[in-house]
Amino acid sequence: MLENKSESRTSLSDIGEFKLIEHLTKDIILHHKSTIKGVGDDCAVLGNSDKLTLVTTDLLVEGVHFDLSYMPLKHLGYKAVMVNLSDVYAMNGSAKQITVSIAVSNRFPLEALEELYAGIHLACKTYKVDLVGGDTTSSTKGMLISITAIGEVEKKNVVYRNGAKPNDLLVVTGDLGAAYLGLQVLEREKQVFEVNPNAQPELENYNYLVERQLKPEARKDIVELLQNLEVKPTSMIDISDGLSSEILHICKQSKVGCSVYEDKIPLDQQVISTCEEFNIDSTTVALSGGEDYELLFTIAQEDFLKIKANPNLSVIGHITEENEGAQLITRGNQKIEIIAQGWNTMS
Ligand code: ADP
Ligand code: MG
Instruction: Give tens-digit pLDDT for 160-206.
Output: 999 999 999 999 999 999 999 999 999 998 888 888 888 777 788 89
pLDDT score, position 328: 96
- Give distance in angstroms: CA of 157 to centre of ligand 2: 18
**Residue 97, strand partner residues:** 130, 150
CA of 40 to the centre of ligand 1 (A): 7
**Cα 118 to Cα 76: distance, rounded to the nearest angstrom:** 10
Q: How far apart are CA 240 and CA 19, in angstroms?
A: 17
Closest ligand 1 atom to 38 CA: 14
- For residue 59, report the distance from its CA to the centre of ligand 1, in Å: 10
Nearest ligand, measured from the Cα of 44:
1
CA–CA gap between residue 234 and residue 152 (Å, rounded): 18
Q: Which residues pair with 99 in a beta bridge?
A: 133, 148
**Average pLDDT, stretch 252-266?**
98
**pLDDT above 70 (res 346):** no
pLDDT band at 341; cut points 50, 70, 90: low
* C-alpha to C-alpha distance for 250 and 236, rounded to whole angstroms: 8
Contacts of 171 (CB under 8 A, 6+ apart): 233, 296, 297, 298, 299, 307, 313, 314, 315, 316
| pLDDT at 193 (0 to 100) | 83
Say if residue 262's pLDDT is above 90. Answer: yes
Query: How many residues are listed for the chain in this entry?
Result: 347
- Which pLDDT score, from 0 to 100, does residue 6 have? 65
> Which residue has the CA at smallest separation from atom 3 of ligand 1?
42
For residue 90, how far is its CA from the centre of ligand 2 (angstroms)?
7
* pLDDT single digits (tens) 114-148: 999 999 999 999 999 999 999 999 999 999 999 99
Q: Which pLDDT band, with edges at 50, 70 and 90, does 94 fall under?
A: very high
Enumerate the β-bridge partners of residue 299.
Answer: 169
Average pLDDT over all residues of the chain: 94
Q: Which residue has the higher pLDDT, 294 or 343?
A: 294
Q: Let me know: does 93 contact 47? Beta carbons within 8 Å.
A: no
The string of pLDDT tens digits covering residues 39-48 is: 999 999 999 9
Q: What is the DSSP letter of 66?
A: B
CA 346 – CA 250 distance, rounded (Å): 19
- Ligand 1 pocket test, pick from 29, 39, 297 with the greatest ligand atom count within 8 Å of Cβ, gives 39
Closest CA to 144 of 87, 81, 101: 101
Statement: residue 342 has pLDDT above 70:
no
Ligand that comes closest to the CA of residue 21: 1
249-252: long-range pairs with CB below 8 Å, 24+: 249/161, 250/161, 250/164, 250/296, 250/298, 251/164, 251/319, 251/322, 251/326
Protein residue with its CA nearest to atom 6 in ligand 1: 18
Give the residue ranges of DSSP H helices in 150-295: 178-195, 207-214, 220-229, 243-254, 269-278, 282-288
Choose which residue among 15, 23, 25, 162 to substitute to test ligand 1 binding: the one with the highest number of ligand atoms within 8 A of its C-beta: 25
The residue ranking higher by pLDDT, 347 or 6, is: 6
- CA angle, 82 as apex, 123 and 70 as ends, to 5°? 90
Question: How far does CA 101 lie from the centroid of its chain?
Answer: 20
75, 65, 60: which is closest to 116 by C-alpha? 75
pLDDT band at 315 (very low <50, low <70, confident <90, very high): very high
The model carries a pTM of 0.94
151 forms beta bridges with 54, 95
Atom 22 of ligand 1: nearest residue by CA position: 21
CA-240 nearest atom, ligand 1: 2
Please list every protein residue whose CB sits less than 6 Å from any atom of ligand 1: 21, 24-25, 39-42, 58, 87, 240
Ligand 1 atom 19: the closest Cα is on which residue?
Answer: 21
> Residues 318, 85, 229, 254: is their CA dihedral positive or negative?
positive
13: left (phi over 0), alpha (psi -120 to 50) or beta: alpha
Residue partners of 330: CB distance under 8 A and separation at least 6 = 262, 283, 336
